[in-house]
Structure 1
Amino acid sequence: MLPALEQIASAPLSTDLSGIAGLAAALRPPRKGDPEAATGNVRTLTRLLHDNPHHAAALRSHLMHLLSTRRQVSLYTDTGILSNDGFFHELRRRIAYRVLPPALDERNLQDCLELVFPHESDHLWLQAVPFEAWDALWQAIAGAPQEQALNRAAASDQGKTLTELLQAIQVLSYRISAIGMEPELIRIYSDVKAFESPFLMQNVELHGWLESYRRRLQDDSAPVEDARHVMVLLDQCQEVVDKIRKHALRIGTSVSLTYRLLRLEQNLTRLRQLLALAEPAITDAQEQRRTGLALAMELVEAHNRKYTVRGLLAGNINLLARNITENASRTGEHYIAENRREFGAMYRSAAGAGLIIGFMALIKILFSYLHAAPLVEAFLFSMNYSLGFMLIHVLHFTVATKQPAMTASRIAADLHRSGDGRNLDIDSLVDVIVKVFRTQFVAVLGNLTIAFPMAYLLVTLWFHLSGNHFVDADKAAHLLHDLDPVGSLALFHAAIAGVCLFLAGLISGYYDNKALYTRMSQRVVRARWLTAVIGKRGAQKLGGYLETGLGGLMGNFYFGIMLGTIGTVGFMLGLPIDIRHITFSAANLAIAMEALQWNVGLHTFVLSAVGVLAVGAVNLWVSFALALFVALRSRQVRFRQGGKLLKALLARLAKKPGEFFWPPRDLPATSPQAENSSGSGSG
């Protein structure tokens, strides 16, 4: 450290960055983020400056001169704040700069950070040092006596730096006014009127404060307006942002809205920080130093991560996913049977789906007999799945494997309402999980108990009408082999289907959100060509249905596309990828057993039946785990009571095992939605 300090002391008014860069390198620990080494280095530097006041004074003058000779505004207004170009432009820019970084201009303080803190992990060791150590270092630098010549230079440099700070404050205020009056934000929260908007009023108030502050810089006796009024208006701006977020949960959101709100919050936070630094009356001296240190750390971290794609995605996609999973959470209410009446309704709903899937399994095999080109076959399979699942949805039937993606969001919503999981009511969560489990059980039961006999009945009828079995012995053996949980890739293929189920749930949530946000019902009514065909009343009914059911239709459509194309993609790429779905597997088992006239060993039949159940378990577990993970991440919930929850579930299973499969007799109906669970739709 001494060589760097001596280099700085030899020319304290130099604009060369090598001295500061060398000092930062000396403070940098050998291992990134090592708190003990980093803290030790900072304290060593503090002792050196205490022992050498000349070096401390020179370092202070050098830092002030470096700041005053650089353009600082962009550092305060751009670093760590999303650009105005939008999410996708920012994403493309970061990807491009990861490949080919932009040129540096040392006249900008923003670019000087690249020379002083060039490592992407520098913010880790800087943040690992406690505030007390940094504060002691700052006191050692600021309290050192200076020569008269350096004092005059420092006063001039301080004035230039303060001017740059005030310009940054003004820029941020104008940006907040512009973003806050965006038509997209006003449409969602129309209570903000143009003449009384806090986004505009904060700029008016801040303009008066800046004028008085500049007069004070020229005349020490001039009064300065209190900046607390500006802070109050900034708090009101934040309240509006929070209200817009709450409205977005109800009426939907978009990528652009999420991006604007995040950018607006970043500008509000930065403006508060700069005001606290410029106006000592807002906070005391120690709190002001704490704010300055926090801002410095934030700027260095933002600089180190300015080209990271992950950070951009984490800040925006999580908020968008929150709205998507919120729609799935509300849909999940329909998938939980509260009492025996709803339990029976869920069975009938699942049985209806099993009836249709029995036909779909046969139609798929018929399409395979066409021996069409791979892409044509993939199209036929996809349409069979998509149209079949959409029909199931329209008829308000339920496919059991579509439930986990919805119920996982419901459970995540309960965890979110408890905060971070520490104050969670475990008993209440156990009740929800037990209800979800038994509802899932009866849905699977309804699918299987109808799909198997329906498929068997259809192929038996085919045999009596045509004189031939629906499939030959080789095809039947192949169907049985595909169900072998040990000798085939059935479970791996079931996991792929589980991923597809999870993606279908996200797609459903996305389109539910989109239908709400774009006011689909009003758009449909305004379509003149449509009203000319079906009339205004018909358009109103269609618009109302699409606004609430578009997500289910599109989720089922894309789910069918995924199921129908994955096998063909695997064939074309030479990869062993395909899908296995529990209900279709049960139907295929019935088709194979009819073709072989049950002339198979008991071992083969039992193994195939176990394979069907194992496929279902993998379908359900993979889709549920992925959906729960995304729902928790989108709500930024970290559940840390897994062991306690597992013990509570095992205790409930030991005490009342029947509740996992059958609802108690005395449990009253509490969910009006679940009463119509047979009409909840799923696909």
Structure 2
Amino acid sequence: MLGLKNIRRLWSLWKDSGDASLALDTLLVVPDASASLAERNRWLVEVAYWLRRQDKAEKGQDKAKIGAVVLEGHPEHVRLKAFLKLLEQRSDVKLKIARLLRSILRDNDALSLLCDTGVATKPSFFGEISERIRHRLIAPPPNQPELAVLFALGFVGEHDASWVHDLDRDTLIALHDLLHYQEQTVEASNLFKDISEAIHILISYIGASGLSYSVRSRLREVSGQHSPFYKLGRLAEEILKDEPRLNEHVYQAYLKDFKDVIDACYIACDDVYSHLDENGVSIETVFQVETMRLRLARVEMLLQAWLYRDQLQNYSTLVANLILTVQGHRSVKRLAEQSFALLSRKVVERSAEAGDHYIAGTRKEYFAMLKKALGGGAVVSGTVYLKFLIANLGLVRFFENLLLATNYAGSFLLIQFANFTLATKQPAMTAPALAQLLDQTHTSEGLKNFVDRSMALMRSQAASIFGNLVMVVPLVILIQVAILFIIGSPTMSAIKAQAILQTVSPFSGALIFAAFTGVLLWLSSLIAGLVDNWFVLHRIQDVIYYNRRLNIVFGQERAERWARWWRDNISVVAANISLGFLLIYGPAFMAFLGFGLDVRHVTLSAGQFAAAATALGWKTFLMSGFWLGLVGILLIGAVNVLVSFSLAFNMALRSRDLPALDRQRLYRAVRERIRADFKSLIFPPK
């Protein structure tokens, strides 16, 4: 018991140590300027913790109250001013601190902070991901002679950038005077020298990226010596070679040209994004362009501080920005969001384009959807019995899974190209199509269109599921009866049939498996979008069209027709093949990880359920498992649709930068329409 108390005490101390700070009298014991760099850096880090510390009264406040305090005034400002006022009364301590601060700035390299902090330092996306994970897990040691390390160790608070940015002029003047207190030789020029070098380094990085093939080949008009990335370096040389000469007209002309070139670089980055949006998204190119934009913004901020040296507020703004970038540099999520935003939007737009075909607005479209669903159910009935046949062959697991996946993929492709419909594939496509209407929902007309489309979507889903089930169940029963008459026995034993009935029971974990199936359905649509993007990005259509051997053997006309066919159908082929393999290998992969998940697809499960019930004969109706299975199939269909739709809709929202959308208002409008016109949820109005 004593050991448990010690463990709790140590755990409590460990949690409190994250925000712990030294007392003020301890901080006044200042290391000598000749002490080790680690000791001096650690003292400055402890000062940052002391400024940020919370009293017991503050710790008891909830987050809303703390946010109000931050808006009204920063507690850090109060402590900093009190500390500076105390130093005015202790000139000996003030002198030691001034010398200590100057030694820290002298012995720590500033270029890594000014150039690389917050900007990707690795040449590739995945290299930068691994670097950020390492920084996230392993803090740098304080004896590393870089100012970036001091920022990473000292500024770890959520509001650090805010209070630094909001420092008033009097406090900034006091800090400036403290830094230069009784300074024998003027070292202020070192700061501006570092800023100048940092700008040159950043511009060299920007020029190298902007003139690289991946960027240059995507610019529509400018390239080579006419590229704005080529002109940056020459203009920077003219601006930074001497002290700022803001009163000279020639110097002002150089500054104007430099600003125009910076703007042209931003426009060039936008041109690259436009090219990617039209011709396929490359994650590495997006990563490269995002890095360029961050460096351009850093150059502008550094140049502002270098030019207007007497405006102390520029320094607090620069430091606040560096704090934000240091904290953001530790975020793997932020890097992924920046790099994948364009790709996710491209995938969503491609899904939305396909999803429009699955939403029936009129009665004519509704009945057409119902007919397609009947055809899809007919194909699935054959899929069910082919699955039974493969399972009864007694093959080794590898070949059995391969044949089962091929069976599913082939059936889904047949449904697609026969212009039939498999109900549960629709939600992942229709959700992005619905999300495209969100931009107009702030108007009454836009909200009405969204509600109309939502009703049409739900109606289409209901029609597809109904059509699939209405066809698959009787066809499976007919095939089972025919087999019974031909060979004298059903396709399965009574024990196996009862086990199949149990798999769709709501109490057998079927709903969890149905949710997992919904995830797989969404993943197949995601894979389809990624494959479509890859096809366009690498211009595979042109590769097929201009292939020399294809043109010789089949002729140019056929090569062109095949190229066009693959461009139009690559996404649906990828979606159906990937879904077939995911339904088989998804559970196998999860089993490898130790999760016993299985697939419950409403149409396939309904077909297997009908086959098992027919094999058992009339006594099936006396079994509780039969009636529970009927309920389970309906719930499986609902869960399949809800999970895949929710995942796709959420991705569509994020890709369109609408995470803060007032969803409750939309849901309320849909609910009111359902209450007012429930029949339209099942059958389209005239």
Q: Give SS of 2:225's match.
A: coil
Change (3 A) 1:532 1:461: farther
Asked whether the 8 Å contact 2:413–2:576 carries over to 1, the reply is yes
- Farther-moved stretch of structure 1 (396-405 vs 63-72): 63-72
Q: 1:556 aligns with which of 551, 554, 576?
A: 576
Matched, 1:88 2:126: yes
- What's the secondary structure of 2:619's corresponding residue? coil
Distance (Å, rounded) in 2 between the aligned partners of 1:86 and 1:474: 56
CA gap 1:203/1:341 in 2 versus in 1, 3 angstroms: farther
RMSD: 3.4
Counterpart Cα distance in 2 of 1:14 and 1:576: 57
Q: Which residue of 1 aligns with 2:7?
A: none
| 1:288 aligned onto 2:314 | yes
Decide whether aligned partners of structure 1 residues 200 and 84 sit closer, same or farther in structure 2, where only a CA change above 3 A counts: farther
1:247 to 1:123, Cα distance in 2 relative to 1, 3 A: farther
| 1:547 corresponds to | 567
Instruction: Indicate the residue corresponding to 1:402 in structure 2.
Output: 425
2:266 equivalent to 1:241: no
Instruction: Between the two structures, name the one with larger relative contact order (CA 8 Å, sep ≥ 6).
Output: 1
Q: CA deviation at 1:113?
A: 3.4
The answer (yes or no) to whether the contact 2:169–2:313 under 8 Å persists in 1 is: no
Distance (Å, rounded) in 1 between the aligned partners of 2:83 and 2:575: 66
Does structure 2 retain, via aligned residues, the 8 Å contact 1:498–1:620?
Answer: yes
Alignment: residue pair count: 646
Aligned AA (2:502): H
Q: Which amino acid aligns with 1:548?
A: D
The one-letter code of the counterpart of 1:129 is: W
- Aligned positions of 1:130-145 closer than 5 A: 131-133=165-167, 137-142=171-176
Contact 1:39 / 1:130 at 8 angstroms: preserved in 2?
no
Alpha-carbon spacing, 1:651–1:277, altered in 2? closer, same or farther (3 Å): same
Q: CA deviation digits over 1:233-252, x for unaligned, max 9?
A: 22222222223223322322
Q: Identity rate of aligned residues, in percent?
A: 27
- What displacement does 1:458 show? 2.3
1:159 has 2:180 as partner: no
Among 18, 21, 24, which residue is 2:48 paired with?
24
Aligned to 2:346: 323
SS of structure 2 residue aligned to 1:129: helix
Q: Are positions 1:494 and 2:514 aligned together?
A: yes
Distance 1:106 1:260 in 2: 28
Residue correspondence of structure 1 range 248-263 to structure 2 within 5 A: 248-263=276-291
TM-score by length of 2: 0.85
Q: Of 390, 394, 410, which aligns to 1:371?
A: 394
Contact kept, 8 Å, 1:209 with 1:225, in 2: the verdict is: no
Instruction: Give the Cα separation in 1 of the matches to 2:474 and 2:249.
Output: 91
Q: Tell me, in whole angstroms, the C-alpha distance in 2 between the residues paired with 1:593 and 1:14.
A: 81
Distance 1:396 1:512, change over 3 A: farther
Q: Give the 3-state SS of the residue equivalent to 2:226 in structure 1.
A: coil
Amino acid paired to 1:85: P
AA aligned opposite 1:451: V
Relative to structure 1, is the Cα distance of residues 106 and 468 closer, same or farther in structure 2, using a 3 angstrom cutoff?
closer
Distance in 2, matches of 1:430 and 1:663, equals 14
Instruction: Label 1:570 to 1:59 Cα distance change in 2 as closer, same or farther (>3 A).
Output: closer
Spell out, residue by residue over 1:60-116, the C-alpha distance to the aligned partner (whole angstroms, 9 max, x if none): 665455324432122111111012420122233344566667777643322343554
Cα separation, partners in 2 of 1:575 and 1:146, compared to 1, 3 Å: closer
Candidates 624, 643, 651, aligned match of 2:672 = 651
Corresponding residue to 1:201 among 228, 231, 236: 231
- Maintained 8 Å contact 2:428/2:522: yes
AA partner of residue 658 (structure 2): V
Structure 2 letter corresponding to 1:301: Q
1:503 shift after superposition: 0.8
Q: 1:432 aligns with which of 450, 453, 460?
A: 453
Asked if 1:42 is matched to 2:81, the reply is no
Q: Distance in 2 between matches of 1:269 and 1:414?
A: 34
SS in 1 for 2:166: helix
Using the TM superposition, give the Cα deviation of residue 331 of structure 1 relative to its aligned residue in structure 2, in angstroms: 2.0
SS at 1:191 equivalent: coil
Deviations 1:461-514 (A, max 9, x none): 32333333233322322222222123x221121111111101111101111111
1:676 aligns with: none
Partner of 1:632: 653
| Closer/same/farther in 2, CA of residues 67 and 439 from structure 1, 3 Å limit | same
What amino acid is the match of 2:668? Answer: K
User: How many angstroms apart in 2 are the aligned matches of 1:439 and 1:232?
Assistant: 53
Kept after mapping to 1: 8 A contact 2:244/2:307: no
CA contact (8 A) 1:321 1:634 kept: yes
Map of 1:677 onto structure 2: none
Output one character per residue of 1:199-253: Cα deviation in whole Å (capped at 9) or x when no partner: 2233333232223x44859xx9997445343223222222222232233223220
2:475 to 433, 454, 463: 454
2:324 aligns with one of 280, 298, 320: 298
Rounded Cα–Cα distance in structure 1 between residues aligned with 2:427 and 2:216: 36
**Does residue 1:509 correspond to 2:535, yes or no?**
no
Give 1:129 shift: 3.0
Task: Determine if the alignment matches structure 1 residue 185 to structure 2 residue 218.
Answer: no
Q: Which runs of 5+ in 2 are unaligned?
A: 1-22
**Does the CA-based 8 Å contact 1:135-1:289 persist in structure 2?**
no
The residue matched to 2:617 in structure 1 has which SS?
A: coil
CA contact (8 A) 1:126 1:297 kept: yes
What TM-score results when the alignment is normalised by the length of structure 1? 0.85
Equivalent residue, structure 1, for 2:160: 126
Mapped to 2, the partners of 1:181 and 1:98 lie a distance apart of: 32
Per the alignment, residue 670 of structure 1 pairs with none
Distance of aligned partners of 1:356 and 1:18 in 2 relative to their CA distance in 1, 3 Å threshold: closer
Deviation for aligned residue 1:325: 2.0
Residue pairs, 1:481-630, within 5 angstroms: 481-486=502-507, 488-568=508-588, 576-601=596-621, 604-630=625-651
Check conservation: 1:29, 1:125, Cα contact below 8 A: no
